[in-house]
Amino acid sequence: MKDGPDIARIASLIGDPARANMLSALMGGQALTATELASEAGVSAATASGHLGKLGDGGLVRVNQQGRHRYFSLAGPEVAQTLESLMGLAQHAGAVRVRTGPRDPALRRARVCYDHLAGDLGVQLYETMLASGGLTESGGEVTLTALGRDRLTGFGIDLDNLDTGRRKLCRSCLDWSVRRSHLAGAVGAAIWQQVQHKGWAKRIENSRIVAFSARGEAEFMDFLRV
Amino acid sequence: MKDGPDIARIASLIGDPARANMLSALMGGQALTATELASEAGVSAATASGHLGKLGDGGLVRVNQQGRHRYFSLAGPEVAQTLESLMGLAQHAGAVRVRTGPRDPALRRARVCYDHLAGDLGVQLYETMLASGGLTESGGEVTLTALGRDRLTGFGIDLDNLDTGRRKLCRSCLDWSVRRSHLAGAVGAAIWQQVQHKGWAKRIENSRIVAFSARGEAEFMDFLRV
DNA sequence: TCCATAATTCGGTTGACGCCGAACCATAGC
DNA sequence: GCTATGGTTCGGCGTCAACCGAATTATGGA
């Protein structure tokens, strides 16, 4: 009633089913057009437009005009993190959707979280990088070591180009399915890009699930073990 | 529309202003009665009762019957963490309440977050414990070292009694004002208990602000420096 | 036993918001 | 220029949920 940020305002933004569906869809990390989001949410284009306006005002999504298309994406990693956090709560409260098909285990194994890898494999990546001394964590801050930089450069990631200062290089993000952290931030995103680029894995259409090829998964595991 | 936890359900629970006020009040960590929460939210007892029922169904609050009073508290640390996360977003989106009085700096300096210390001092505690080797962090898991256990025992905390397995001993919690982590979990709660017990600080009535005495703050700082 | 206080349940009102269709603006391509 | 398509704005409809007062059920104390 008195102090602190106005939490109800943005929670109610997320609290509408149509908007929540849109945000969930955007958790895939891709920018989507208004009509795609409308179909994702199951509402008409007019309704979707209204919702997207509100999400924009609330600072939850960003717009990117491109010709006559308007591409929407999450406003930033903090938004994605909050959404994951909410998913964790919902999961815990047993409020999973009825439609929990056989795809669910795959979702737990590997999925895309905004713009980086999550699920079992994402957590594994993060933890082995810590254990092998490529990353260090202190005070909630995650940083690359010299060793880690070397290894990523060898993996084909151009770190100098990444470190624009606009976005934190490394960040830990709590995983709703595994309940441990995985690697987010610019480096997390770059790794996911590279994994796709090498053909090790790709996203399943219209889903957050990441499918590794047999060979890709083996190579990924090798990369972890180094 | 299809997969994952039902995020809209619980977000809409938090999204109602009256309920959000109640939850914010419970972030103080104390259990409050239904009437106290009603006045906190500015609604009638009847309305509050309805809200509390919903919050209970949604798994966000726990009830504790004591005589003819029913004490409500947050269902767990995950709930508190999610709320802080939402506050961070709201803060970032500039959606702070109009009523940002002079009390705000005090809130940033030291406050109680559910059942442990937050704000500048909370973050400082966490970071010096990491830096001095009392804590280690790995894969999002925070653990006490032998050194850390010694120091806490010397501080007057009975760790054996704390480690019931029911609750994680250490956990990092993202701070919405400082945007870095502070120490939560059973140990975080115990430290806050002990700080109060030693008379170093106490909560301001009906607020999350923690007021350190001059002497108490000095002693706290000494404790950090060891 | 009886009264005061905490809390929930019920009925009815009201306002807010999500929804759509249709009309309207903008861009791209011919 | 014209036309197709993406997107927003407007008006009106319907529903849902928050709200309160009053009645009802517990509990504790005199």
Whether B23 has a pLDDT exceeding 80, the answer reads yes
Contact state of B58 with A12 under an 8 Å Cβ cutoff: no
Q: Which of A50-54, A192-196, B62-66 has the lowest mean pLDDT?
A: B62-66
Listed residue (B129, B106, B109, B120) closest to B188, CA to CA:
B129
> Pick from B11, B42, B207: which is nearest to A14 by CB?
B11
B5 and A99 within 8 Å at the Cβ level: the answer is no
CA–C1' A68–D1 (A): 20
Closest CB to A95: pick one of B6, B78, B91: B6
Q: Do B81 and A85 touch (CB under 8 A)?
A: yes
A22 touches strand C (CB under 7 A): no
Q: How many CB atoms lie within 10 A of CB A49?
A: 15
Instruction: Map residue A18 onto helix, strand or coil.
Output: helix
- Confidence category of residue A1, pLDDT binned at 50, 70, 90: very low
Judged against a pLDDT cut of 70, whether residue A134 lies above it is answered with: yes
- What pLDDT, in 10s, does the model give residues A180-189? 678 888 888 8
Instruction: Flag residues 49-68 of A with CB < 7 Å from strand C.
Output: 50-51, 54, 67-68
A130 backbone dihedrals φ, ψ, rounded to 5°: -70, -45
Q: Which of A116-125, A135-144, B32-41, B128-137 has the highest mean pLDDT?
A: B32-41
Q: CA(A15)–C1'(C9) in Å?
A: 27
More reliable by pLDDT, A95 or A113: A113
Which residue spans within chain B are E strands per DSSP? Answer: 32-33, 61-66, 69-74, 111-113, 116-118, 135-138, 141-144, 171-174, 181-184, 201-203, 210-212
Least confidently predicted of A5-9, A43-47, B63-67, B162-166: B162-166
Question: What is the distance in angstroms measured between the alpha-carbon CA of B25 and the sugar C1' of D22?
Answer: 29
Nucleotide D23 C1' to residue B38 CA (A)? 20
Chain A CB contacts of B23 below 8 Å: 7
Report the alpha-carbon distance of residue B145 to residue B136 in Å, rounded.
7
Q: How confident is the model at residue A101 (pLDDT cuts 50, 70, 90)?
A: very low
Q: Is the CB of B70 under 7 A from strand C?
A: yes
Minimum distance, in Å, between the CA of residue A216 and any CA atom of chain B? 24
Write the CB contacts of A176 (distance below 8 Å, at least 6 apart in sequence).
A84, A85, A87, A88, A91, B5
Q: Where are the beta strands (DSSP E) in B32-179?
A: 32-33, 61-66, 69-74, 111-113, 116-118, 135-138, 141-144, 171-174
Q: Is the pLDDT of residue A142 over 90?
A: no
Q: Is the CB atom of residue B88 positioned under 7 angstroms from any atom of strand C? A: no
Query: Is residue B107 helix, strand or coil?
Result: helix
Helix axes B120-131, B214-225, angle to 10 degrees: 20
pTM over 0.85: no
Among all residues of chain B, which has the CA nearest to that of A129? Answer: B139
Q: Which two tokens stand for residue B10?
A: 């619980």
Average pLDDT over residues B131-142: 76
Of A20, A38, A81, nearest in space to B8 by CA: A20
Is residue B135 within 8 A of residue B142, CB to CB? The reply is yes
Which three-class secondary structure state does DSSP give residue A142?
Answer: strand
Q: How confident is the model at residue A2, as a pLDDT?
A: 45
Share of chain A above pLDDT 90, in %: 21
Cβ contact (<8 Å) for A15 and B11?
A: yes
Task: Summarize the confidence of residues A99-121 as an average pLDDT.
Answer: 71
> A1 versus A168: which is more confidently predicted?
A168
Residue A197 parent element (H or E): helix A185-197
Q: For residues B12 and A10, is the Cβ–Cβ distance under 8 A?
A: no
Which nucleotide lies at the shortest CA–C1' distance from B19? D18
C-alpha–C-alpha distance, residues B205 and B183, integer Å: 23
Chain B CB contacts of A138 under 8 Å are: 127, 130-131, 137
Nearest CA in chain B to A5: B96
Is the CB of A47 less than 7 A from some atom of nucleic acid strand C?
A: yes
Give the angle A160-A141-B140 at the CA atoms, nearest 5°: 120
pLDDT tens digits, B42-61:
899 999 999 999 999 999 99
Residues lying close to strand D (Cβ under 7 A), chosen from 23-62 of chain A, are 33-35, 45-46, 48-50, 52-53
Tokens (6 digits) for A214: 């047999």
Contact flag A137-B137 (C-beta cutoff 8 Å) = yes
pLDDT at B221: 87
Q: Distance, angstroms, CA B15 to C1' C28?
A: 41
B92 touches strand C (CB under 7 A): no
φ/ψ (deg, to 5) at A30: -75, 150
Rounded to whole angstroms, the distance from the CA of residue A196 to the C1' of nucleotide D8 is 36
Q: Do the chains contact at A137 and B138, CB–CB below 8 Å?
A: yes
Chain B residues with CB-CB distance to A118 below 8 A: none
Q: How far is CA A145 from CA A121, A164, A221, in A?
A: 22, 18, 21
Nearest CA in chain A to B183: A139
The dihedral through the CA atoms of A108, B184, B177, B138 has a sign that is negative
Give the distance from CA A18 to its chain's centroid. 20
Region A149-175: mean pLDDT is: 79
**Average pLDDT over chain A, rounded to an integer:** 82
Cα(B33)–Cα(B17) distance, rounded to whole angstroms? 19
Any idea what DSSP says for residue B200? S
Contact by Cβ (8 Å): B155, B194: yes
Q: Which of B87, B157, B118, B3 is nearest to A108 (CA)?
A: B3
Buried residues in B166-179 as b, exposed as e (16+ CB within 10 A): eeebbbbbbbbbbe
Task: Please count the residues of chain A.
Answer: 226
Phi, psi dihedrals of residue B201, rounded to the nearest 5°: -155, 160
B5, A96 Cβ separation under 8 angstroms: yes
- List pLDDT tens digits, range B154-199: 888 888 888 776 667 777 766 666 656 788 878 888 898 889 889 9
Of B8, B60, B86, the CB nearest to A7: B86
